[in-house]
Amino acid sequence: MRKLSYYVACTLDGFIGDPHGDASSMFQFIDEEYAAFMNSEYPETIPTAFRESFGLAGVPNKRFDTVIQGLGSYRLALDAGVVSPYAHLREIVATRSLAESPDPNVELVAGDLVARVRELKAEDGPLGIWLCGGAQVAGQLADEIDELVIKSYPQVYGSGMPMFGAGFGIRDFALEDVRSFGNGVVVRTYTRKR
Ligand SMILES: NC(=O)c1ccc[n+]([C@@H]2O[C@H](COP(=O)([O-])OP(=O)(O)OC[C@H]3O[C@@H](n4cnc5c(N)ncnc54)[C@H](OP(=O)(O)O)[C@@H]3O)[C@@H](O)[C@H]2O)c1
């Protein structure tokens, strides 16, 4: 069984973006020490367009071979003219409004998203599935998540886009790892207790 990991950047108060989803205030924390961590531990989460400048050209995927995002997140790439933002991964986009995939590497899911994720998890393979976001899709997949990797940035928004756009429900996780950085970023890894 492959793992579904929600690897996500958020504020101290648990928001993944401002009320419109914009997370650009967090970009300032990508300094040398933190970038080195992401490059060595999560190289495949750097968009294809930036891999060369991050020194990641040709670097193999380490943890994930698939990325799942909702159209709200994928739209950021589309608006920038990029149809395959993670071309080094298999890309899955949840959408009911996009009729046709703009790129052969991007699979659109319009039907039962949870069922599709269960199929992906049931595949054989050493690498897992990265749930990129955003809030709506993460909310629907909350019960399927096996691992949370929360990159907490030292900012408080007060309100914004939550990590999960889900109804109330208690889901328990066990802390596996904590990494902290000189710039105040803390990366916590949890596994789901079932
Ligand atoms: N901080 C971070 O690490 C991080 C990571 C990722 C994203 N984000 C932010 O999150 C924001 C987007 O989040 P969001 O919650 O607005 O959108 P989202 O979850 O990315 O996408 C929502 C869209 O996905 C489609 N969808 C949802 N459920 C579906 C289902 N069951 N089947 C098929 N399609 C489904 C719908 O598209 P249709 O309308 O086409 O049906 C829906 O409008 C972005 O602004 C981005 O910046 C932040």
Condensed to tens digits (0 to 9), the pLDDT of residues 17-40 reads: 999 999 999 999 999 999 999 999
- Tens-digit pLDDT profile for residues 151-176: 999 999 999 999 999 999 999 999 99
Q: Check residue 6 and give its pLDDT.
A: 98
Q: In which domain, by residue range, is 133 found? A: 4-192
Mutating to test ligand 1, I would choose from 137, 148, 153, 187 the residue with most ligand atoms within 8 A of its C-beta, which is: 137
With a cut of 70, which residues of the chain have pLDDT below it?
Answer: none
Q: Is 152 in the pocket of ligand 1 (CB under 6 A)?
A: no
User: Ligand 1: which of 73, 86, 106 to mutate, most ligand atoms within 8 Å of CB?
Assistant: 73
Burial code (b: 16+ CB inside 10 Å, e: under 16) for 160-185 equals bbbbbbbeeeeeebeeeeeeebeeeb
3-class secondary structure, 166 = coil
Q: What is the CATH number of the domain that holds 15?
A: 3.40.430.10
Number of separate domains in the chain:
1
Instruction: Indicate the helix (H) or strand (E) that contains 138.
Output: helix 135-140
Please tell me whether residue 118 adopts helix, strand or coil conformation: helix
Nearest residue to 77 via CA among 15, 133, 39? 133
